[in-house]
Structure 1
């Protein structure tokens, strides 16, 4: 067992440590290899002197070395890059996502797949962001974590970690795991830009309510790779690391203050707004202030997109008269994209085209990483007839 300390200079110019803990057990070179990027989260936590959970450097790698299932001949080899400091996912944002994307790109040709371990609270946002940032990805990137730390006897960490390594390496599937960003949690492999955290306390914390799982795990693995998996584009991986942060998400509630919405739209650094509407994209038809605020946003050339507050289905704002008024005010539909996907897609597109809101609007309506379905797949026949 060897340890190598790597140093990276951050954007602020300070140095941060990465510890690489490599499993070297004399296995043949043809054995699949997975790079594990440990950013933090519950999986790497232990209770401190006050009984409170906190991430502990080196702890997860120590647990992995002691796991007999990871020494099974059918399992891939692995290396662990442990970030310093280890972060709670609530503290992670675009800068941290860029670090992960950069590390995947740096090691892309050296490994057969990647596992990213992080906290669950913002995992769906990170997965969506990485889906867009890792352009022309040719290897699986599987995000995972746990609801219960390794330190607990009943932890879900072992199961999630073992299955994530299997899917990242593609060692037991035919066809192998597609080259896209996914989340594995509990018993499902989910497309990263289709995932949402749906349970704060249950072990099945993540779901993909608007798109089928890429695989489910029981006694055997049932996958939909052939029907639903993405294919490699054939181009060289070129990560897009500059994510726009001038994005906000607003959830519409009955009786909201129109003037507060207008004040938000007047923010000088704002580039785009995601508005979570009711149902298929309805809003109060008697609230002239709402339309006035959206019209003011249009005049500022802000990109305003509409998602639904419902877990299943999507937005089709041209069905009702109020939806037509929203369209006239410049609102565009997010279809059946999750809020996480819509927000990070806007951040990605504005990162690529910072001064081209028209280009952003055009590309937002195009499915780039399987984040968007054809409307016919999520609307009832009623809508198709109107």
Structure 2
């Protein structure tokens, strides 16, 4: 189904330009080998025309892939808890490049300053052995939306949405696909810990686990003003999600009411007795203890791995499109590629990570392509017709 959605995307993009060539750069009579629609073998996905003008809708492609993967993962893990992780990242662009539509300065949490480019809010789902990116949204600042709307007709104007609004929009999008009889946890960091978003999750009977600012009030008092002696902390062993190692933290469990949220648990945590700084985690499931909360919150680490792979290996920030529609389509291709790799990882027994999946996919595509070229060469008893048939040799004038 994932490959079928990708192939449908490929077919929708193969249309002729005025020069009589398909938009993937191959001549119109070029024949691609059967089953060679792998994402890493498609040149049309890297062309400007297909991503900007080709008649396919980015939201529709994301919706089809998302629906299939949600149903597939829930059927494969019928009783596992479900974790929905929300986070955002920056796609930086060169500061002097002013031609990118919608680009602006966004605060970068990693660098601790504002960087020029785009902000992307995404949603990730984990259910048992299945884990993959579900959806994403481009975040535009309010002044950026006003600037873009000046040159747009009334029926094509944009509507500003905050990052919290985008997170809620993505959660609403998957809400109808999630079972009612499962425990569902929504995970996010302190920047999304608003009473509106937490309240929305509680309305859906979902639990929330998130990091918390130290100045948030619990029973009218900030947790950072609670003085704790060293002997009041309990050692808690937390298993790392990316490795098999465990880390011991010192934790203390508080229970109280947060204004606008209700009664919650707050875990006070620090690395060791000498550590002067403390971290705070909120959990709406009152039956859990510190280890259960931190073990579940560790699932949020996967979304950071997604961002690393998207930007370093799939080039999510390396686009050259100028229009907002083209940029959105480019990012859709990157996210569909990521979900395809995550889906294939479950099909390959010896794939330890996404890099192994990518190498295996490229190998399979190369074998199919070379087999197709060799078959044409054997039919014509010559190499040149085979190279010409697959577009590797230009036509002699």
Whose RCO is larger (CA < 8 A, sep 6+)?
Answer: 2
Which structure would you say has the larger Rg?
2
TM-score > 0.5 by shorter chain? no
State the TM-score, normalizing by the size of structure 2.
Answer: 0.24
Higher helix share: 2
State the TM-score, normalizing by the size of structure 1.
Answer: 0.25
